[in-house]
Amino acid sequence: MTNTLQAWPHPPVRVGLVGAGPWARAVHARVLAAGPETLLTSVWARRPEAARETAVPYAAAVAATFEELLDDCEAVAFAVPPAVQAELAARAAKAGKALLLEKPIALDLLSAQRLVDAVDAAGVVSQLVLTNRYHPVTREFLKAAQRVDHVGARSCCLSGAFLGGDFATPWRLEHGALLDLGPHILDLLDAALGPIVRVRGAGDVRRWIELTCEHESGAVSQASLSGSVELERGITRVELFGRHPELVFDSGALDHEESWPVLRREFATAVRTGQSGTLDARRGLYLQTLMAEALES
């Protein structure tokens, strides 16, 4: 995939990374340091030793404070729990920094709105890390979906992440699959079938939750979410039905290494042009609104 990208004609975007956990090490630091579109300048985390372990392989600096990190970059990537992200990203926006945000963008709707208000007030670029959306296969699926009419869809986003391991983190265990996995599946359903105008939820967010979505087009979709089921590998699957052959998206066969160069290039392009793409903080707020509605129902 990287070989198909044209040469980068601009100076690399200087990015500081907030967070030094497993996801920050496995993805953010590695991808941002790979360039040529971005340069990982520094890492800041609550635990200095973890920040050092994350920064040293890429010759990045270890920031002593969040403010020091802001002084050393033009964009900030976040790999921290959503409550922490919402607070620090708003501060970064006020400092004029572009934002690369994880999903969900906040822990609750009010915090998400405050973050987006800060982004809008500062006029900074923002982008969401929705892994599947940067993969060429996903984009071909969505193009095909938009060419035909649908009656309905069924989908799932299932994993065993909450059963133990690096991603059985406190915020995921407390708030469950809706906040962790919901952004992925709601984003795909919305992109494939058109805007969601109503969503209802049933079940236990810590074990298994079912969503029923009504779309502006008249289509109805359903989604099953769980992070507490024993699986060899996670499943993200969307099946679309109508007066056409069934359309299926299945992430199981995807190599997500193909997503990262696309994400990096699009974020850097947004920063250099000053124009956010469609997967921005406002998209994150929209998804947060849908999740809040599902919880209230």
Q: Are 16 and 78 in contact (CB under 8 A)?
A: no
Task: Extract the tokens encoding 247.
Answer: 């359309």
What is the Cα–Cα distance from 203 to 209, expressed in whole angstroms?
Answer: 4
pLDDT in tens, the chain (297 residues): 334 567 999 999 999 999 999 999 999 999 999 999 999 999 999 999 999 999 999 999 999 999 999 999 999 999 999 999 999 999 999 999 999 999 999 999 999 999 999 999 999 999 999 999 999 999 999 999 999 999 999 999 999 999 999 989 999 999 999 999 999 999 999 999 999 999 999 999 999 999 999 999 999 999 999 999 999 889 999 999 999 999 999 998 899 999 999 999 999 999 999 999 999 999 999 999 999 999 998
Q: Which CATH architecture has domain 2-131+257-279?
A: 3-Layer(aba) Sandwich (3.40)
Tell me if 143 sits within 8 A of 186, measured CB to CB: no
What is the bridge-based pairing of β-strands 220-226 and 208-215? antiparallel
Classified as helix, coil or strand, 29 is: helix
Q: Give the DSSP H or E segment for 75.
A: strand 75-78
Name which of 124, 122, 129 is nearest 101 in CA terms: 129
Task: Give residue limits of the domains in the chain.
Answer: 2-131+257-279, 136-253
Phi, psi of 132 (to 5 degrees): -60, -35
Give just the sign of the alpha carbon dihedral 163, 169, 170, 171: negative
Q: Based on C-alpha coordinates, what's the Rg of the chain?
A: 19
CATH hierarchy code of domain 136-253 = 3.30.360.10
Distance in angstroms (rounded) separating the CA atoms of residues 137 and 140:
5
User: So what's the pLDDT on residue 1?
Assistant: 38
